[in-house]
Amino acid sequence: MATPIKRIEKDFLLKTIYDEKLPLRYWYNRREYMLTVDRPIKEELYLKPDRPVEGLRLKKKMDLMFDYRGRIMSFSVKVTALKDPIIITNVPETLFRNLARSYSRVNTPPDLQVQLNFLGDRYALSYPKLSEYEAESLSDFIQQVDPKNFSGLIAQLAQWIKKNASGYKLVIFKDVKPTAIEERILAETGRAFFLPSTLAKLPQTDPYPKKRLITEEMFLRYLESTGVGENYLTETMTRFIKSKFDAGILSDLWIPILFQEYVIGYVHAWINNQGIPSPPPFSFSTVAILYQFASVFAFSLKLNGYFESGKLKNKAIDGKVIDISASGLLFAYPHSSLSSALLPDSELEIKLLAPNRTVHAHAKIVRQFKDSSMGYFGCRFLDMAPEDVRFLFECIYGKPLTDSDAAFLAGEV
């Protein structure tokens, strides 16, 4: 993965590039160029190429790579002036060590066509949607019950509640919208509202690697977003928790039911003061168990066709490829129900059509970002055959892939 270099080390490396005349590799229009820094680096970078860079123009972004003591470094600059043979650019704000992508990206050659096809099931649904989504795999819990047996799953939940809680409620946001405070913050964050004791506070931290809990800080920020004044946040939270205690609730837990990037509902379990004796307060193990149930419950809904009407057709993606490398590509797609379903970890079928060869591969979306009109998706090739990698390298960079090139570009010098 690309690691930003600290400022002091960056300044040292930039000075070293000039002092030692380290060659900077640059690919443009299927040609490889070697550049060196022509004068001490101050407010601008003066680059001298080994031969004229044909077609280079002002404001063009240049992605440069160099080898320093066996480590591959990279940075990006923008052309500010051209004084033959010198290329003048800005000084890079950041240098990176060991790129996550192994090869420098370049503009897609005009005779290389790229076709993208969506793999897997994605949906456009009317449930609350999370702005950030991370896929989770089902646990061993699924082995304990047949996910297609919907009634059996509910019966298992009821049996667990009977032993460990006073009651529960299962809500799907189909005909109802989130209205209660717990429902709204749960729908916004995709995390659980967990109050082990109504005589205490919300958790201060979240111990889970993949964050699951609404912490006290998150709850206070939510109250602030609803218009509660900063001076009244703690008081409002205290009154909110006390109201639960006054209603006889001793321990409270609201678990979101997540399906892909949607919050489709929740499981609410509670312990009150009416049982003699009352069950022990909910713990982190309780959270884990109900999260498992919620995951299997969502999977069961999918198996039983609950989301079928919202399934997107598996069709070709008419995306605009921005740039490409021998290890991945970046494409853009207008905002739509399809682009909203293209999430990190989504897999695509890639077809690269050159005049004399077609390359087939799978790719995974590893990063995404967006502007006002387009979504941008960075993809990494997954299973490209070695001979296809070599062909694609020559097609993109205009030269054969040598062993030393492969070692340099993979950061394994």
> 253 in a domain, yes or no?
yes
The pLDDT of residue 234 is 95
Q: Are residues 303 and 326 in the same domain?
A: no
pTM of the model: 0.58
> 104 in a domain, yes or no?
no
> 107 in a domain, yes or no?
no
Q: Are residues 13 and 69 in the same domain?
A: yes
Give the start-end residues of each E strand in 237-334: 249-259, 262-272, 316-317, 320-324, 328-334
Q: Which two tokens stand for residue 129?
A: 């949607």
Q: Give the integer Cα–Cα distance in Å for 325 and 343.
A: 21
The pLDDT of residue 142 is 46
pLDDT tens per residue across span 342-396: 777 778 888 888 888 888 888 888 777 776 777 778 888 887 888 888 888 888 8
The pLDDT of residue 178 is 94
The whole domain housing 209 covers: 140-309
DSSP state of 129: B
Q: Give the integer Cα–Cα distance in Å for 413 and 409.
A: 8
Using 50 as the pLDDT threshold, list the residues of the chain that sit under it.
1, 99-101, 139-142, 411-413
Cβ atoms of 347 and 119 closer than 8 Å: yes
Cβ atoms of 89 and 78 closer than 8 Å: yes
Q: Give the integer Cα–Cα distance in Å for 16 and 14.
A: 5
Q: Give the integer Cα–Cα distance in Å for 10 and 4.
A: 9
Which among 181, 125, 134, 160 is positioned nearest to 312, based on CA atoms?
Answer: 125
Q: Are residues 260 and 324 in the same domain?
A: no
Spatial CB neighbours of 169, under 8 Å, sequence gap ≥ 6: 267, 268
- Give Cα separations from 405 to 31, 42, 72 (angstroms): 14, 31, 12
Q: Give the integer Cα–Cα distance in Å for 339 and 329.
A: 16
Q: Are residues 45 and 93 in the same domain?
A: yes
Q: Are residues 302 and 165 in the same domain?
A: yes
The pLDDT of residue 340 is 63
E strand or H helix at 388:
helix 386-397
Residue identified by tokens 């070695």 is 386
Q: Are residues 289 and 394 in the same domain?
A: no
For residue 238, list its beta bridge partners. none
Would you say how long the chain is, in residues?
413
Q: Are residues 176 and 263 in the same domain?
A: yes
> 132 in a domain, yes or no?
no
| Chain centroid, CA 198 distance in Å | 35
Q: Are residues 274 and 365 in the same domain?
A: no
First to last CA, the chain: 17
User: How many domains, in total, are found in the chain?
Assistant: 3
Q: Are residues 39 and 188 in the same domain?
A: no
E strand or H helix at 81:
strand 71-83
Query: CATH code at 50?
Result: 2.30.110.10
The pLDDT of residue 4 is 62
Q: Are residues 117 and 9 in the same domain?
A: no
